[in-house]
Amino acid sequence: MAIKGVIFDLDGVIVTTDQLHYQAWAKMADKEKIYFNKEINNRLRGVSRLESLEIILEQAQRIYSEAEKQELMDYKNNRYVQLIQNLTPEDILPDVLEVLNTLKTWNYRIAIGSSSKNAKIILQQIGLLNTFDAIADGTEITRSKPHPDVFLIAAQKLELKPTFCAVIEDAAAGIEAAKRAGMKAIAIGDAAKSNLADIRLNTIKDLLKLDELNNCD
Ligand code: BG6
Ligand code: MG
């Protein structure tokens, strides 16, 4: 099936915000004296704020009430929102602009499919708010990746059937979501370890070399 639309995850694919999520969660974990490391952080990729907190709390010494969980999420998000204020177009990951521009030249439709409720603020900060044909984000879903919802909304907004879409992801949860949506799942970074990935890329620029996605197709 020929691909007509490419849906990009945001955090860790377009921009380095995965590091900022890590910093903000680490600060919260430190405050609560909860063990947290990069390996645990990798399990938070693609999943919602609450599910991320639940994963971190697996290491906690006590049970947290719902009200306390809300406080911890607010603490993390306040810190995270402060950190993303410093983002600029320079934080766009290498080769991303070239890939987006080339796909546009080749007449692919491009979208963001992110679990983050902060996606639009981030896109604004890095100057890409008006670059995509569609944006689907954490404000539009109740079930985050690995549920397929955010990608299905992105495809709907692109007016494409899921089978015409490919997803680029750095999260194992996102690869699973793409497959459950009936889309081609392309992994970069940490997502390469997912055995559900259809294709694994060393760098995002390799996307332009794929038979499925080059203009000779
Ligand atoms: C995803 C990140 O894009 O968004 C996750 O990969 C994060 O790590 C999720 O938990 C939700 O983000 P936010 O900004 O709504 O807390
Ligand atoms: Mg990601």
Render pLDDT for 9-38 as a digit per residue (tens, 0 to 9): 999 999 999 999 999 999 999 999 999 999
Ligand 1 center from residue 190 Cα (angstroms): 15
CA of 81 to the centre of ligand 1 (A): 12
3-state secondary structure of 169: strand
- CA-closest residue to ligand 1 atom 12: 116
Cα 12 to Cα 211: distance, rounded to the nearest angstrom: 24
Quick check: 217 pLDDT over 60?
Answer: no
Q: Which residue has the tokens 């915000």?
A: 17
Does 18-84 match 5-16+89-216 at the fold level?
no
Instruction: Please give the distance, rounded to the nearest whole angstrom, from the Cα atom of residue 96 to the centre of ligand 2.
Output: 14
The residue assigned the tokens 């849906």 is 7
Q: At the topology level of CATH, where does 5-16+89-216 sit? A: Rossmann fold (3.40.50)
Q: What is the pLDDT of residue 211?
A: 84
Q: Is 198 a catalytic residue?
A: no
* pLDDT for 215: 55
17 lines ligand 1 (CB under 6 A): no
Specify the DSSP class assigned to residue 187.
E
Report percent pLDDT > 90 for the chain. 96
Contacts of residue 58, Cβ cutoff 8 Å, sequence gap at least 6 = none
Name the DSSP letter for residue 98: H
Beta-carbon contacts of 37 under 8 Å, excluding residues fewer than 6 positions away, are none
What pLDDT is attached to residue 216?
Answer: 47
Q: Are 212 and 3 in contact (CB under 8 A)?
A: yes
Angle of CA points 36, 172, 13, to nearest 5° = 90
18-84 sits in which CATH class?
mainly alpha
- Which atom belonging to ligand 1 lies closest to the Cα atom of 114? 3
Residue range 87-118, pLDDT digits in tens: 999 999 999 999 999 999 999 999 999 999 99
Domain boundaries along the sequence of the chain: 5-16+89-216, 18-84
Q: What is the pLDDT of residues 42-74, one digit of tens each?
A: 999 999 999 999 999 999 999 999 999 999 999
42 C-beta closer than 6 A to ligand 1: no
